Amino acid sequence: MKKIVKLLQSFLVLHLMVVLVACGQGQDQNKSSNNQSAASPVYPMKKSDQEWKEVLTSEQYYILREKGTEKPFSGRLLLTKEKGIYKCSACGNPLFSSEGKFDAHCGWPSFDREISAGSITTAIDHSHGMMRTEIMCAKCGGHLGHVFDDGPTKTGKRYCVNSISLEFIPEHSLRQVETTASIDTITLGGGCFWCVEAIYRNLEGVISVESGYSGGSIVNPTYEQVSAGTSGHAEVVQITFDKKKTSLEEILKVFFTIHDPTTLNQQGADKGPQYRSVIFFRNENQKKIAQDIIDELQKENVYNKPILTLVESFNIFYKAEDYHQNYYQNNKKQPYCQLVIQPKIEKFEKIFSEKLKKHL
């Protein structure tokens, strides 16, 4: 375990260095391929193409930096109706609120206004033989989509936006910390979500943990469908955490302690692809941190067996039925909780005693 700690510390330093370089104000002007002229606006957040490639997935880079368009009706936020805010997926700048979202039946998430004046900048777009008004994030210049004057509400506007340009933050996650600048989210599959959720609820810096399903193709799956093992979904927990108090490295360190990443589609007696070990990353930075940790654990032969944890691009998270949320706390007397979850929690509390939430 000492080796893991050392390793994670060095990742943290490396990560900080990357952030510092990325935030440097004295960087050379962006030699971007996205046809910006010398008169283009200067955005508060400047990064080179290379730097953007390091923090965005290839899909995000194509849409946000190369002004691509996702296929209609394919975006994960198209039908989202939950209350919350939509941030720029590149820089975290708040752009839209659920208040202004409506279904335009055009295939892309649509809004009738920006969240506050100045969140979005516009430019005339002559591409594809049309004259349209392109919309960009006012902080980083990331391409969002287009705005049209045919909106059905009193603003008369229809902001037509790529899901990939947006990150949705549900209202309940916003309550605890007003500023979202230091907030990050990761989705992990480590076997039965009851166990994994119970452990992360106790980790200092964790804001919320939700049990749910991810990685499959069925829309709004039920527990029964996922349990059947044919939905493609894994039981996962979605962890929102405050980077000022913990880190993705810390979260993953716990992850690799509390489950067995060497058993294919199985955790203890729980068998099936829904119990696979998987990390769903939201950006290249998360992907790199996950892969580096796996590589290092593998190199050091920590488990004496190959690590089978999958590292996959995050697409969508479906929250599980209410009775699965906080299952351990509500069902402590169940045999499964006593036999399976309790020992895992005890192991976690022993190893991470300094990282527990103070009230424990």
Complex with Zn ion: residue 87 or 113, whichever CB lies closer:
87
Q: How many CB atoms lie within 10 A of CB 170?
A: 17
Minimum distance from residue 93 beta carbon to Zn ion (Å)? 5
The reply to whether 137 belongs to the active site is no
The reply to whether 140 belongs to the active site is no
How far is 137 from 86, CA to CA, in rounded Å?
12
Minimum distance from residue 121 beta carbon to Zn ion (Å)? 10
Angular region, 128: left φ>0, alpha ψ -120 to 50, beta rest: left
User: Positive or negative CA dihedral for 140, 144, 147, 151?
Assistant: negative
How far is 93 from 89, CA to CA, in rounded Å?
8
Q: Please name every residue paired with 94 in a beta bridge, in sequence order, or none if there are none.
A: 87
Minimum distance from residue 158 beta carbon to Zn ion (Å)? 21
Residue 83 CA to its chain's centroid (Å): 18
The amino acid present at 245, given as its one-letter code, is: K
Q: Of 219, 200, 106, 220, nearest to 162 (Cα)?
A: 106
Complex with Zn ion: residue 90 or 258, whichever CB lies closer:
90
Complex with Zn ion: residue 86 or 280, whichever CB lies closer:
86
How far is 20 from 206, CA to CA, in rounded Å?
24
Q: Of 140, 245, 255, nearest to 186 (Cα)?
A: 255
From the candidates 88, 91, 140, 192, which is the catalytic residue?
192
Question: Across the chain, where does the E strand assignment appear?
Answer: 84-88, 94-97, 101-102, 110-111, 120-125, 132-137, 143-148, 158-161, 166-170, 183-190, 206-214, 234-242, 266-267, 270-271, 277-281, 310-313, 317-319
Complex with Zn ion: residue 51 or 260, whichever CB lies closer:
51
Minimum distance from residue 313 beta carbon to Zn ion (Å)? 20
Minimum distance from residue 43 beta carbon to Zn ion (Å)? 8
Complex with Zn ion: residue 93 or 214, whichever CB lies closer:
93
Complex with Zn ion: residue 144 or 160, whichever CB lies closer:
144
Angular region, 35: left φ>0, alpha ψ -120 to 50, beta rest: left
Here the tokens at position 139 are 């902080």
Complex with Zn ion: residue 137 or 293, whichever CB lies closer:
137
Minimum distance from residue 244 beta carbon to Zn ion (Å)? 21
| Residues 6+ away with beta carbon under 8 Å from 12 | 247, 249
From the candidates 88, 91, 140, 160, which is the catalytic residue?
160
By the 8 A CB rule, do 79 and 46 touch? no
Minimum distance from residue 160 beta carbon to Zn ion (Å)? 17
**Which residue ranges make up the site for Zn ion (CB under 5 A)?**
88, 90-91, 93, 137, 139-140, 142
Here the tokens at position 89 are 């997926």
Q: Show which residues are catalytic.
A: 160, 192
